[in-house]
Structure 1
Amino acid sequence: MALDKPYTDVPGTIIFDAEQSRKGYWLNQFCMSLMKAENREKFKANERAYLDGWAMTEEQKQAVLARDLNWCMRTGGNIYFLAKIGATDGKSFQQMAGSMTGMTEDEYRAMMMKGGRSVEGNRYIGENGDAQAQNQPQGAAGKKA
């Protein structure tokens, strides 16, 4: 039985919780294998064959082949493990983060230097619709005042 997850209401955010961890176990194990030079060479020589040696889903393999880190995260990848793919490709973490936001490395760096993205529209999905109702003070019984 899934637990109540109020954090799923944050737009554009994938929380790496126990469920995501289980879903991405083999994807993340593959990523960790790239810490060894011999495995990086095997992967670079024939990516598909190397991926087929892991008990990953076909969707996870396609996400890796596409180098779509957001897709990898949706299928259970953890960004700290996925960083090994970027490192194997000679990418910096800033380049990877930029690709996840649709920005160039320079655009991403500039945004972060200015304090990151605006919180407006990024607090929770209901923010723009029923935010007024959700932000009303509650009485002692937990009912809207």
Structure 2
Amino acid sequence: MNREYRDIPGTYVMDGQHCRKGYHLNMFCMSLNKAENRDEFRKDEAAYLEKFKLTDEQKTAVLERDWLGMLRLGGNIYYTFKLAIFDGRSMQFVGGAMSDVTEEEFRQMMVSGGRPVEGNRSKKEQEQSNG
């Protein structure tokens, strides 16, 4: 279905379709709630991921810590953040990585009020301003 929110750049709404796409990825992330699973993942990340029905793209995103890629592939930020916590990373670090800025630059952007609205309202608006 064509949803109006699909036109908002950088937005991955957890609607039914996106939720189904990321179900196994999110269940992997939830598994990190248990210490024994974290220990097993720490020993051999790739082998641990084989316990879940992840796509090859999802496995690669996890192993490379492609935070934005995980969201695009159905990850829910609240679940994928469990992996960031496992790595000892802050929400500002993850936000910076997804925004292509440093952790401190991201922190300062948030303190200053966030991203400017101009150019971020819709993908159509971005296309028009680019060209």
Report if TM-score (shorter chain) is over 0.5: yes
Equivalence for 1:115: 113
**SS across alignment from 1:90:** coil
Distance in 1, matches of 2:125 and 2:32, equals 40
Distance in 1, matches of 2:86 and 2:39, equals 9
Render the CA deviation track for 1:61-92: whole Å, top value 9, x for unaligned. Answer: 01100100111111110000000100010111
Root-mean-square deviation (CA, aligned residues, Å) is 1.5
> How far does residue 17 in structure 1 lie from its aligned partner after superposition?
1.2
Q: Which consecutive unaligned segments of at least 5 residues does structure 1 have? A: 132-145
- The percentage of counterpart residues that share the same residue type is 50
- Look at both structures and tell me which one has the larger radius of gyration over its CA atoms: 1
Distance in 2, matches of 1:74 and 1:128, equals 19
Equivalence for 1:64: 62
Equivalence for 2:14: 16
Distance in 1, matches of 2:27 and 2:117, equals 33
Equivalence for 2:50: 52
Runs of 4+ aligned residues of structure 1 deviating over 6 Å after TM superposition are none
**SS across alignment from 2:110:** helix
Letter in 2 for 1:21: C
Equivalence for 1:85: 83
Equivalence for 1:32: 30
Q: Which TM-score applies when normalising by structure 2?
A: 0.93
Count of paired positions: 129
Q: Which TM-score applies when normalising by structure 1?
A: 0.84
Render the CA deviation track for 1:27-69: whole Å, top value 9, x for unaligned. Answer: 0000000011111111011000000111111110011001001
Aligned pairs for 1:91-130 within 5 A:
91-127=89-125
